[in-house]
Each structure stands twice: as C-alpha cells, then as structure tokens.
Amino acid sequence: MEMTSLSNVSVLKFGGTSVKNLARIAHVCQIIDTARKAGPVLVVVSAMGDTTDYLIKLATQVSHTPDQRELDLLLSTGEQISITLVTMMLKSMGIKARSYTAYQVGIFTESVHSKARIVDINTDSLHKAFAENEVAVVAGFQGVTTEGDITTLGRGGSDTTAVALSAAIGARYCDIYTDVDGIFTADPNVVAGARRLTEVSYDEVVEMARLGAQVIHPRAVELARQYKVTLRVRNTFKPDDPGTTIDGGKNMEIYRSVSGVAIDKDQSVVAIMDVPDRPGIAGAIMRALAEKNIVIDMIMQSYQPKLGLNNITFTVSQADLDQTISLLTAQKEELGASIVEADPDIAKVSLIGAGMAHQPGIAARLFTILGDASINIKMIATSEMNLTCVISKVDAEKAVRIIHEAFELDKV
C-alpha cells in the first residue's frame, strides 16, 4: 500500500444513519466545513440509511441466489448516491469538492465478491484533490479488481475503506462518525448503566467488534492497529463531543481487567456428529467452508475414545447457516459422519478486557453468576482477552445485564 504522508489530512467517515436523508447530509456538510478550516479533508460515506438492505431485497426477488459479480455491482450504487449528494451539497455551500468511486480513486481488492480485502490504493487522485483545495468524497464499502470488476468489502466495509485510505496517505487520525456517543461497556440499549469508554485499545475493540458490538468493524480496527492510525468513534449529532479514542492503549490504566460485555445474537451452532477420529478430517471440513468464505468462530471437538469418533461443533453467522448445512451434508458420507445438526437459537455473551489473562478468578465468577441466574451454558471459549459463553437467545439480554452489574462495569 502506498504510504505517502499527508498527516494533516482530516479523514471523516459517515455511516448510513448520518446520511440517511437530505437534512442529515446538510448537517454532515457543516461538520466537513468546520474540519476543512484546519486543513485538507477526506470524507468516506456509506449508503443512505437502509439502502443496502433494500438493494439486497431487490436482488433476492430477482434471483434466490443472485450472481455475486452482479450483486456487488448493484450494491456499490448505494454509496455512489451518497457521495454525489454530499458533494452537490458541499458545492451548493461554496465549498470545492469532488466525489470518487473506488474505481476512480483506485482502491484495488482481491478478486473475491461480497467480502473482498483491499490490497493496494493509488493516492494520485487524492493528492491532486488536496492540491486543488478540494474536499475528496470517497465511496466506502467498495473496491475494484485489476480486471476492472467492482467488489464490495462486506458489512462494515466503509469503516475499512476509511482506515485504509488513512493509512495510504499517512493520516494520524480517522474519525468514525455514527449515531452513538462512542464505545460503551455494553450496549446502552440493553444495559441502562452502560458507561462510555473515553479510551480503549485496538485489541479490546477488535474483541468487542468481533464478539457482537456493532459500533465499528473489526477489520477496520485491525488495519488501524497495523498502520498505527488512531481512531475516534464520534456522534454525528454531537460534533463537539470527543467520543472514544482507539489506539495502542499506552495511556490506559494497566490494571483495568475488564472493559466490557458484548452480545451477538446473529450466530448459529452447527455440529457434524460421529466423525471418524483420523488425521485430516477437521482440515477437510474447514477447507470446504473457507472456500465459500464462511467464517468459523468458536470450535469445539469432543472425543468418544471407545468408539473412535469425534463430534465437531462450531458457530457461524446466521446468514451462512443454510450454506454451511448444505456443504456439510454433501460431505457427510465422504467423511463417514452420521448427521449434521444445527441450533439457531443461540447467542454469544462475551466478557472482554486487556487484563483478563492475569485474573484467574474471572471465569469462575462469570460461570457462577450465570448459574445463579439459571442460565445454561452450551459452549465456552476463552482467549487472552475474552471469555465467551454460548447460551439460549432468550437469556442473552438478561445475562448481559447481570454480568455488567456483577463486574461493576458502570464504574470502569
């Protein structure tokens, strides 16, 4: 990725709720106008409101399984509407501005549709815009292959676009504007006492985002960590509020063991039962899913030594459930497995914190809390920074509230 430094550029990303209608676009343009007084401005925008969902609905009405190339081309039009309207509004205010699709900027991705990764960015057009004192308004969520095909980056891809552009031009900060005040210890819609974190580390936010918090996409945070771009999650409707800063965590309290609790209801458990216990079986299963870009999260293998069989259980996104079942069912006889089972009635509740690895009593405390509340744990996964329990979906919000209270996260 080209790394020509323009550290004084303000990179502002606005999500779909921020540009939902013309009144909100006008408000966003006021924020842009304020920012440009301090130097060059690069704006990245998402599609307006629920436009992407609407386009997906149209596509599935045309075809139950839309061609992925054509679907990406269709979905990319949502951001094109946003960038042109924002640019037109800026020009009506007497502000020099120019809109750019990913193709026009040169945001190159791998040749994968719906979940493409950025491999290179050409910053020539951005340098020209800044030299001519123009605000550059770039479409998020999309890229282009070297063959000229339009790709999309998956849900939350506009965050990734903004961070990748920040890295490519050497910007110090990337402001992610959304409809919340920052990153909280829990979803404030679920936990009334959730507290906003003024500063949080890249690692913690990656865990929060991966485990269900939807403020910012984990790919964007990982990219920011790699290129040392400081992120600021801010509320579009409170532009003077500093929000939450995401960085390396150097100024954080070292001994803050737990930072938050996340909930993810968009998961299903899949199990392939009675798989022969021999080398290569797990690899064959995971390879088949990886080839279809199906992301596997929690994995558990239980061994039945007397029978020489394994049960392999894992979680996938609800959107990938049908395809996962279909792939495993097709593989079942070849693998020698007995049955493929699925449980869509699950949620992941995760405790997250940079200091958890050094606090051995946290797991016992968490399990006791859930047990005392008669909440059954179906699966458990741990890492250095999180402790995740799979429970019934109906218990998820109750679990988050009692965990938040028991760990006194309102005082973090």
Q: Domain with 81 in it: what CATH number?
A: 3.40.1160.10
Which residues make beta-bridge pairs with 270? 314, 342
For residue range 401-410, what is the model confidence (pLDDT) as tens digits? 999 999 999 8
Query: Does some domain include residue 200?
Result: no
pLDDT of 250 reads 64
Is the CA virtual torsion 404, 215, 199, 208 positive or negative?
positive
27 and 168 in a single domain? The answer is yes
For residue range 55-95, what is the model confidence (pLDDT) as tens digits? 999 999 999 989 999 999 999 999 999 999 999 999 999 99
Look at residues 179, 205, 229 and tell me which one is the last residue of a structural domain. 179
172 and 289 in a single domain? The answer is no
* Dist. CA 69–CA 107, nearest whole Å: 17
Residues 131/188, Cβ–Cβ less than 8 Å: no
Residue 5 has pLDDT above 70, yes or no: no
* 178 DSSP assignment: E
3-state secondary structure of 172: coil
Radius of gyration over every alpha carbon of the chain, rounded to an integer in angstroms: 23
Residue 306 has pLDDT above 80, yes or no: no
Q: Which amino acid is at 62?
A: V
Query: Does some domain include residue 223?
Result: no
**Beta strands, E only, 360-400:** 379-382, 386-392
Look at residues 121, 152, 179 and tell me which one is the last residue of a structural domain. 179
23 and 150 in a single domain? The answer is yes
For residue range 224-256, what is the model confidence (pLDDT) as tens digits? 999 999 999 999 999 999 999 999 876 554 456
Look at residues 162, 179, 196 and tell me which one is the last residue of a structural domain. 179
DSSP H helices, 171-305, are 202-210, 218-227, 281-290
Count of domains in the chain? 2
* Dist. CA 396–CA 54, nearest whole Å: 29
286 and 169 in a single domain? The answer is no
3-state secondary structure of 255: coil
- Domain containing 293: what range? 261-411
150 and 267 in a single domain? The answer is no
pLDDT of 4 reads 42
* Dist. CA 82–CA 21, nearest whole Å: 10
For residue range 337-360, what is the model confidence (pLDDT) as tens digits? 889 999 999 999 999 987 776 677
14 and 159 in a single domain? The answer is yes
Tell me the mean pLDDT in the region 94-112.
Answer: 96
The upper half-sphere exposure of residue 391, i.e. CA atoms within 13 Å in the direction of its Cβ, equals 23
What lies within 8 Å, CB to CB, of 307 at 6+ separation is 274
277 and 405 in a single domain? The answer is yes
Query: Does some domain include residue 326?
Result: yes
Q: How many residues belong to the chain?
A: 412
163 and 302 in a single domain? The answer is no
Q: Name the helix (H) or strand (E) containing 302.
A: strand 299-304
140 compared with 386, residue with greater pLDDT: 140
Query: Does some domain include residue 242?
Result: no
Q: Domain with 391 in it: what CATH number?
A: 3.30.2130.10
pLDDT of 304 reads 79
Query: Does some domain include residue 255?
Result: no
Q: How many other CB atoms are there within 10 angstroms of residue 55's CB atom?
A: 17
- The residue whose two tokens read 């493409």 is 116
Query: Does some domain include residue 327?
Result: yes
Using alpha carbons, list the distances in angstroms from residue 207 to 195, 218, 261, 262, 384: 18, 8, 10, 9, 10
Query: Does some domain include residue 216?
Result: no
DSSP H helices, 120-192, are 124-131, 157-169
* Dist. CA 195–CA 185, nearest whole Å: 5
* Dist. CA 170–CA 183, nearest whole Å: 25
**Greatest CA separation found in the chain?**
78
For residue range 17-26, what is the model confidence (pLDDT) as tens digits? 999 999 999 9
Query: Does some domain include residue 359?
Result: yes
132 and 277 in a single domain? The answer is no
pLDDT of 214 reads 75
pLDDT of 303 reads 77
Tell me the mean pLDDT in the region 134-139.
Answer: 97
Using alpha carbons, list the distances in angstroms from residue 150 to 2, 9, 72, 237: 21, 27, 6, 32
